[in-house]
Amino acid sequence: MPFTAKLNAEIERRRDDLIALTQDLIRIPTLNPPGQKYREICTFLGERLAKSGFTIELIRAEGAIADSDEFPRWNLVARHEGPRKGDCVHFNSHHDVVEVGHGWTRDPFGGELDDGKIYGRGACDMKGGLATSIIAAEAFLAICPDYAGAIEISATADEESGGYGGVAYLAEKCYFNPVRVQHVIIPEPLNKDRICLGHRGVWWAEIETKGRIAHGSMPFLGDCAVRHMGAVLEEMEANLFPLLASKRTDMPVVPDGAKQSTLNINSIHGGAAEQPAEYTGLPAPCVPDRCRIIIDRRFLIEEEIDDVKAEVAAMLEKIKSERPDFEYEIRDLFEVIPTMTAEDAPIVTTVAKAIKQVMDINPEFVVSPGTYDQKHIDRIGRLKNCIAYGPGVLDLAHQPDEWIGVQDMIDSANVMALTLVDLLKPS
């Protein structure tokens, strides 16, 4: 029997194990924020992978953003060394999940199996993908013990809040150095027949307009910061948004609306702070002396971040030159450079071939509208041969009644195991 058929049977034999593993992971509520149960999930995974012959390292991202004694940022790196020298294939999954939110009809941490779907927070993003990569690696090792190279599986913290206590920390400690690791698959839920090559860039900034406080009955004695911000919003509507819509990209970003530059206004705050909901008094009459917005600009591989910033700076300067008493400040909050792996990179062509073999379709190459941990592997690790590939429907991520399909996980496990066969040359 060729490897393909043997692996297929081996993965099928592990179907119940795959379901149970996914359920077990969902039942550890690794909510972020605050970043809880990280040690518990890393220990659980470490014990399992040690039994499969992996060498285990538990690494706390000491000193990283959000790491504290109450909520330490724990990460797991497991490595299995083959008997012969060769490339290392690394599967990286984040183990944190976002808040539950409203609207659930299932227990968010129950891991309920119903009609071929496993429900729970993190089922699709991305404990299902993590379980899939483990089953794929274990099935490969059972069938192909004599292989060249190494397999690594990591479960990392804080992807949902920037990845600084997770992949960024590990990359700084050289865990994604191209000398150690040659191929990286991040099993994010991008659909089992799509390969995600990278993501757009991000720039967050806070813009503040300034005014002068006065009694609300005599606004002419003050200077209204909210009206100044109104001028900023007007300028955005008139000129900036149309300009951004005209900037199209050659990156295969999905969904289609994200194939251009975009800007979201995350929030706006001006004047007196809002009182708690239980406060029943009226507000005091004051002219607002401060107004702030947070902007979230997503940019394309064809754009430079300095130009992106200069565009907003020029807009504010234009308003200042036209509008009396317009004073503002702008502060950078966060930035990520776009990244995109080449379509002819070895990990891309290998996974594409495996998808064709398993599902008899040519995979779609996509780019994510938002970012994920690939940014750190690229920028800090300097490792370019990286993709996101995993089971699950992207639109379900962060939604109520999030689920992962068992058959999708099985199909993806076959793709991952065949990828290992191709890259690790078993004999």
Active site residues: 96, 159
Name the residue nearer to Zn ion (CB basis): 87 or 188. Answer: 188
Q: Shortest distance, CB of residue 122 to Zn ion, whole angstroms?
A: 9
Terminal Cα distance for the chain, rounded? 13
C-alpha to C-alpha distances, 59 to 51, 225, 376, 394, nearest whole angstrom: 19, 48, 17, 29
Size of interface with Zn ion, in residues (CB under 5 A) = 3
Name the residue nearer to Zn ion (CB basis): 99 or 329. Answer: 99
Question: Which residue is nearest to Zn ion, using beta carbons?
Answer: 125
Name the residue nearer to Zn ion (CB basis): 8 or 92. Answer: 92
Among 123-131, 150-158, 362-370, 401-409, which window interacts with Zn ion (CB under 5 A)? 123-131
Name the residue nearer to Zn ion (CB basis): 125 or 223. Answer: 125
Name the residue nearer to Zn ion (CB basis): 98 or 232. Answer: 98
289 contacts Zn ion (rule: CB under 5 A) = no
CA–CA distance, 373 with 128 (Å, rounded to integer): 17
Q: Shortest distance, CB of residue 83 to Zn ion, whole angstroms?
A: 34
Site for Zn ion in 165-194 (CB under 5 A): 188
Q: Shortest distance, CB of residue 186 to Zn ion, whole angstroms?
A: 8
Q: Shortest distance, CB of residue 97 to Zn ion, whole angstroms?
A: 9
125 contacts Zn ion (rule: CB under 5 A) = yes
Q: Shortest distance, CB of residue 65 to Zn ion, whole angstroms?
A: 18
- In one-letter notation, the amino acid at residue 2 is P
Exactly one of 11, 18, 126, 406 binds Zn ion (CB under 5 A); which one? 126
Quick one: tokens of 178? 């191209």
CA–CA distance, 307 with 243 (Å, rounded to integer): 13
CA–CA distance, 174 with 93 (Å, rounded to integer): 17
Per the CB < 8 A criterion, the answer to whether 289 and 209 are in contact is no
State the burial class of residue 391 (Cβ atoms within 10 Å of its Cβ: 0-12, 13-18, 19+).
buried
Phi/psi of residue 100, nearest 5 degrees: -75, -45
State the burial class of residue 371 (Cβ atoms within 10 Å of its Cβ: 0-12, 13-18, 19+).
buried
Query: What single string gives the DSSP state of each residue in 272-339?
Result: SPPPPTT--SPPP-B---EEEEEEEEEE-TTS-HHHHHHHHHHHHHHHHHHSTT-EEEEEEEEEE--E
Among 66-74, 124-132, 222-230, 317-325, which window interacts with Zn ion (CB under 5 A)? 124-132
Name the residue nearer to Zn ion (CB basis): 158 or 188. Answer: 188
Q: Which of 179, 134, 182 is closest to 11 using CA atoms? A: 134
373 contacts Zn ion (rule: CB under 5 A) = no
Contact code string over 228-267 relative to Zn ion, x by CB under 5 A = ----------------------------------------
Q: Shortest distance, CB of residue 129 to Zn ion, whole angstroms?
A: 8
Which residue ranges make up the site for Zn ion (CB under 5 A)?
Answer: 125-126, 188
